[in-house]
Amino acid sequence: MKWENRGDHSMENDALPQYMRIAVSVAERIAEGQFAEGEKLSGRSKLSSEYAVSPETIRKAVQLLRDMRVVSVKEQSGVYVLSADNARRYLHTVQDRSALVGKKHRLRALLEQQEALTKQVSELCRSILDESILPAQAEQSLPNYAVRVPDGWTDAGCNLGELHFWQATGATVVAIRRGGTTILSPGPYAELYAGDNVIFVGDADTREAVARYFSAIKQKT
């Protein structure tokens, strides 16, 4: 029987390897009744020519259909239709796999979008910090202040929670600047080191409490 080479939708699924797309195309035709059970499809060399692919690609496609018991292969004779029902089952399997691959691609795209959005948010926060928080004299309803952790600080490496910084000063730390790095909205596990610039919000009493806090620590050394 002459094989009709057509550019149907089964050959357009780029998510599948080429040999699987060919296997899907063959299985679809068998499932649709274009080829009856027991009918000869063609030899593998002729299939290679008709699909314009390498013999190895056809061999893999035929082997896949053979493993799924869709076709049988008779050496020196050709490829024969074995079961239309198995062809349908194979197509359902491929459809489920394609749906899963599509979901994975969608998830990857969403994660990439999330990463890009997170980066934009971080850059925007850093820009706001540079423009409005770091100048300690900025006129705001709740002033921002900056204090430098003194050199030789014996508690270097301790985090804000361990230092009971908020309980001792009442200051809310909004950022820590360390060299060229700015840590935004640090939590209780954020560590402090000598030379860090601690940016915090509070009133005048809070500012004095922070000054006394670091002054007392410096006096211990």
User: Which residues are registered as beta bridge partners of 197?
Assistant: 148, 177
Q: Please check the confidence at residue 109 and state whether its pLDDT lies above 90.
A: no
d(CA 34, CA 207): 85
Report the number of distinct structural domains present in the chain: 2
Q: Whole-model pTM above 0.85?
A: no
Q: Does residue 198 form part of some domain?
A: yes
Please report whether residue 139 resides in a domain. no
Contact 82, 37 (CB under 8 A): yes
pLDDT surpassing 80 at residue 192: yes
Is residue 41 one of the residues assigned to a domain?
yes
Domain span at residue 51?
Answer: 9-103
Last residue of one domain, picked from the residues 103, 133, 153: 103
In this predicted structure, what is the pLDDT of residue 177? 93
pLDDT band at 132 (very low <50, low <70, confident <90, very high): low
Of 82, 103, 124, the position where a domain reaches its end is: 103
Please check the confidence at residue 197 and state whether its pLDDT lies above 90: yes
Q: Are residues 97 and 161 in the same domain?
A: no
Instruction: Give the tens place of pLDDT for each residue, 25-66.
Output: 899 889 888 888 888 887 677 777 778 888 899 889 989 999
Residue 70, judged by CB atoms within 10 A of its CB (0-12, 13-18, 19+), counts as buried
If asked whether residues 70 and 155 sit together in one domain, one would say no
Q: Is residue 115 part of a domain?
A: no
Q: Taking 80 as the threshold, does the pLDDT of residue 111 lie above it?
A: yes
Q: Are residues 99 and 149 in the same domain?
A: no
- The CATH number assigned to the domain holding 171 equals 3.30.70.1450
